[in-house]
Amino acid sequence: MNLDITGRNAVVTGGASGIGAAVVRLLQEEGAKVSCWDLVVSDQACHSVAVDIAQLDQVEAAWQETEAHLGPVSILVHAAAIGSGHFGFPYTNIPMSAWSRLFDVNVMGMVNVAHVAGPAMSNRRQGAMVFISSVAGQIGSQTDPPYSASKAANINFAQCMAKDLAASGVRVNTVCPGMVRTPLNRSVWQAWADQQPQEQRLTYEQWGDEKVGRMVPLGRWQSPEDIASTVVFLCSERASEITGQTINVDGGFVMHW
């Protein structure tokens, strides 16, 4: 299927690893020119910018550098996020400092990116944004409550943006991955494992397979490429009538009746 994105310019935040890296690769395969934003310069074969999305001035500078190098950007995929590094059950296990840092990155980072990309796309009356949230933002996951709360905020703010920008032809959607083997997912396992008695600990593979078997109707992990396929479709002209939506790529983990 021709997605009609050849020659378009894209920014992918968090593009150096995990889901973000898979999105970079697929956008390139579809003919887009991509700038990868991350804390460290990506080793992928694309334009790369080292940027901390929690710092508005760095986001503004990265946007200017990207457009100077590639030209006007009409696709934004925001995948950058962190976990708290702590295990919930209950939420009081998590120090207040972890909440602050996580919200700076996962919520204010999104706000910073939106305040830079949104007006630029709106002025040109063209653009598509996809924000990577999580099924944790819909089910109130106790594993990492700050992460879960931040992902719910991502979904809600994306809907606000979609309403604001629709009149200028800019579309905004959210994709929620389920169980995906990424560095972030593994960090959640590590926080869980650190709380368990040695004799009860599971390996990362055992922990993940147990969760998949118990909670995912299709009974399998999702891959970064699974998420990227949906993201890139939403960025394309094939999705020209889709905006303000939250799409789960989760093997059926979350079903709304």
Q: Which residue among the candidates 147, 189, 192, 253 is catalytic per the annotation?
A: 147
Angle at 134 between CA 128 and CA 189, to 5 degrees: 140
User: How large is the greatest C-alpha to C-alpha distance in the chain, in angstroms?
Assistant: 59
Residues whose CB falls within 8 Å of the CB of residue 99, separated by 6 or more in sequence, listed in order: 84, 146
Please confirm, yes or no, whether 204 is among the known catalytic residues: no
| DSSP track, 55-88 | -HHHHHHHHHHHHHHH-S--EEEE------SS--
20 phi, psi to nearest 5 deg: -60, -45
Q: In whole angstroms, what is the distance from residue 132 CA to residue 16 CA?
A: 15
The catalytic residues are 147
